[in-house]
Amino acid sequence: MRIGILNSGGDCPGLNAVIHGAVGAAHTLGWEVVGFRDGFEGLLPPGDYMLLDPSRTVGITKLGGTILGTTNKGHFVAKVGEGNVSEVPKEIVEKAKTTLKHLEIGALIVVGGDGSLTTGLQLYNMGVPVIGVPKTIDNDIQATAMTFGFDSAVATVVDALDRLHTTAESHKRVIVLEVMGRHAGWIALYGGMAGGADVILLPEIPFNMQHVADSIRLRDARGMHSTLVVVAEGARMETGELLKKENVGGTGEDRLGGIGEHVAKKIETMTGKETRSCTLGHLQRGGAPTALDRILGVRFGAMAVNLIEQGKFGRMVSYQQYQVGDVSIEEAVNQLRVVQPNSEIVRAGRSIGICFGDAVSRA
């Protein structure tokens, strides 16, 4: 048996752990593993790949990024704009199938987010034996309670907030930290709460700058002269405005950015307090994965091989109630897991005085 593995979309800590887990599990079964470089693009004839065995993957679980490389562009993009789906051209899929047949690949593991898994589903529907492994640093796939990379991103946010606390207190400033989170605010919520943020602005809870300013003034009146604000890049004001760094039209998702600077300027104007902004950006994607992400990645990779052994194609690895299982890829894609405004964790944040920029926080 020879199987293939590729990762597509953005990189995140834990990808190499998935590769390590899949290669180790396959080697135990006596199978060969072919790793395709640069995502689905590596499937195009004559194929861009490398043979993987335990000697090639030893020690890679601690490394950030991916030894296979990745891309979110190219011939296989099935997601465009705000989650719209397009068909990968049939001739492109046929070329990929030709490569897989030539290399005698019996199954293909696709490690990716919602867009990449949508592409993987299309390949499966056209006869490619596919197993999906969820990868989203935003932790926003409904069919799995957690994905690798998320814990590492949160740790980066917490480290940044720990550092910003000291400079904010020294100068009695407001500091706004912009973090990742296009549709879901899990990184902002978890990172903000763990890092002691005073204001957390999420895509799921439209915010009003007046409420934010009032919260900062109230802190000042109580003798707390520094404030830390965490804002997800996809956070929307009550007008529904979404700030975009780059509009790419119908060719893919618009690049978000700028909400942190916007909020900082508004705060300074409305409160008179000196305010600075900081954007973490790709720092959240880089670096070594946490222990949790390494373990989760290895478990995901091993389960993907187990599903191939069982012949359960068209399935995606899923983590629920501390156990790794599987769900259908078709059920998993296009189902985002977002923060519920009245969830227990948000209520906990409100109860300790965190402002979410809405009327509830003001009350």
Token look-up 């600075």 returns: 276
Say whether both 138 and 220 belong to one domain.
Answer: no
Say whether both 173 and 232 belong to one domain.
Answer: yes
Q: Structural domain tally of the chain?
A: 2
Nearest to 162 by CA among 195, 199, 194, 200: 195
Q: Is 246 helix (H, G, I), strand (E, B) or coil?
A: strand
Say whether both 319 and 350 belong to one domain.
Answer: no
Say whether both 128 and 232 belong to one domain.
Answer: no
| Catalytic pick among 114, 138, 293, 358 | 138
Q: Residue 247 above 80 pLDDT?
A: no
Is the N-terminal amide bond of 203 cis, ω within 30° of 0?
A: no
Domain of 321, in residue numbers: 2-148+289-332
What phi, psi does 332 have (nearest 5°)?
-80, -40
Q: Is 87 helix (H, G, I), strand (E, B) or coil?
A: coil
What was the pLDDT predicted at 258?
85
Phi-psi region of 357 (alpha: psi -120 to 50; beta: other; left: phi over 0): left
What was the pLDDT predicted at 38?
94
Is residue 138 part of the annotated active site? The answer reads: yes
The pTM (predicted TM-score) of the whole model is: 0.91
Say whether both 174 and 272 belong to one domain.
Answer: yes
220-228: average pLDDT:
94
Confidence of residue 77 (pLDDT cuts 50, 70, 90): confident
- The overall average pLDDT reported for the chain is 91
185-212: average pLDDT:
96
- For 29, 178, 251, the CA distances from 181, given in Å and listed in that order, are 39, 9, 20
Strand partners of residue 162: none
pLDDT tens profile 63-74:
999 999 998 787
What was the pLDDT predicted at 363?
43
CA distance 255 to 128: 32
What was the pLDDT predicted at 245?
61
Say whether both 66 and 122 belong to one domain.
Answer: yes
Least confident of 162-166, 219-223, 334-338: 334-338
Say whether both 46 and 73 belong to one domain.
Answer: yes
We report the CATH number of the domain holding residue 9 as 3.40.50.450
Q: Which two tokens stand for residue 200?
A: 């957390």
Q: Which of 25-34, 109-118, 258-267 has the largest mean confidence?
A: 25-34
Say whether both 99 and 158 belong to one domain.
Answer: no
DSSP assignment letter at 37: T
Q: Residue 243 above 80 pLDDT?
A: no
Say whether both 299 and 345 belong to one domain.
Answer: no
Tell which wins on pLDDT, 245 or 103.
103
We report the CATH number of the domain holding residue 219 as 3.40.50.460
pLDDT tens profile 248-271:
544 456 666 689 999 999 999 999
What was the pLDDT predicted at 335?
86
